[in-house]
Amino acid sequence: MDFIFQRTYRGPLKAVVLDWAGTAVDYGSFAPTAVFLRLFESLGVTISAADARSGMGLMKKDHLRTILSRPAAADAWKSARGASATEADIDNLFEHFVPMQLDVLKDYAEPIPGLQGTLKELRQRGIKIGSTTGYIRSMMDILAPEAAKRGYQPDCIVCPDEVPAGRPYPWMCYQNAMQLGVYPMAAMVKVGDTLTDIEEGLNAGMWTIGLSMTGNLAGLNETDVKALTIEQKNEVRKQAEKQLYQAGAHFVVDGIWDLTAALDKVQARLSQGWQV
Ligand SMILES: [Mg+2]
């Protein structure tokens, strides 16, 4: 046999899986950053905002571990605490982090501009709306109802503590597929603002769209972004886009308001027989 034949999905997109902070709500992804800074400060350890943002997208305990693996944060910990952070320290930090994060989450539930219009359009196209997050369920139990009050209610929410592991593993996306009743994975698109969002989607065999201006990589709120000059905005966009594309994103757009246009491009590739 000289040729083998391969089956390729060419049908319509059926679902998107949105990240939460920096993608659907919390412009600039500030909720976790603020809490990590305060948490370390309360222990006499000063870390930079860049270190606090370094593990964004991961389950929050993995995020903590990532922060403490960064040289500057590791040094700050060691000089303040007298020894390098251990796994027991990370357990302890996480225990303190959870109630602090729960306390402030309701203040970070505002949908990012354009979310409602985008979702309305997707629903009209028959596309389902799933979601994954780095927040554990107890956090989503606070954030999701607050977001719902403000008009954002995805069809399903999967948290990292409900599957064997969070990002970059694909399990939360598979759970979305099951709960939404959608397959194949090539009919689904992961949308997120962090590199682990993109990895998660690719690991699940999904199309991926990165968001450059509203998330963790830009690290700016809406007011900050509006205050940028065109040149500054281009520079922020360029830096974020570069990282998201290097992580393997199929397309990168500024924010959720541009999602339908990006989905059209994914659909065009699908229809032409491109594979994820
Ligand atoms: Mg995010």
Q: What is the CATH number of the domain that holds 70?
A: 1.10.150.240
In a domain, residue 8? The reply is no
Please identify, among 107, 135, 152, the residue that sits at the C-terminal boundary of a domain. Answer: 107
Report the separation in Å between the CA atom of 232 and the middle of ligand 1, taken as the mean of its atom positions: 22
On whether both 102 and 51 belong to a single domain, the answer is yes
CATH number, domain of 116, equals: 3.40.50.1000
- Percentage of the chain exceeding pLDDT 90: 99
- The alpha carbon of residue 52 and the mean position of all alpha carbons in its chain are separated, in whole angstroms, by 15
Q: Catalytic residue numbers? A: 19, 60
For residue 6, the CA-to-ligand 1 centroid distance in Å is: 35
CA 232 to chain centre: 24
Amino acid of residue 267: Q
Q: Spell out the residues 6+ positions from residue 23 whose beta carbon is closer than 8 angstroms to its own.
A: 112, 191, 192, 193, 197, 211, 214, 215, 256
Inside any domain, residue 264: yes
Residues 152 and 23 in one domain: yes
Is the pLDDT confidence value at 95 over 90? Answer: yes
User: Quick one: 131 and 52 in the same domain?
Assistant: no
Over residues 25-70, the pLDDT tens digits come to 999 999 999 999 999 999 999 999 999 999 999 999 999 999 999 9
Question: In which domain, by residue range, is 103 found?
Answer: 31-107
Quick one: pLDDT at residue 21? Answer: 97
Q: How far is the CA of 186 from the centre of ligand 1 (A)?
A: 22
Phi-psi sector, 102: left (phi>0), alpha (psi -120 to 50), beta: alpha
d(CA 238, CA 232): 10
Q: What is the dihedral of CA 29, 30, 32, 33, to 10 degrees?
A: 110
Q: What phi, psi does 26 have (nearest 5°)?
A: 55, 70
Residue 162 lies in a domain: yes
| 3 lies in some domain | no
What value does the mean pLDDT take over residues 142-160?
A: 97
Q: Does residue 1 carry a pLDDT above 90? A: no
Q: How far is 178 from 143, CA to CA, in rounded Å?
A: 23
What's the 50 CA to ligand 1 centre distance in angstroms? 15
Looking up tokens 């107890």, which residue turns up? 138
In a domain, 1, yes or no: no
Average pLDDT, the chain: 96
Are 183 and 137 found together in one domain?
Answer: yes
Number of domains in the chain: 2
Both 176 and 243 in a single domain? yes
Q: Is the pLDDT of residue 159 over 90?
A: yes
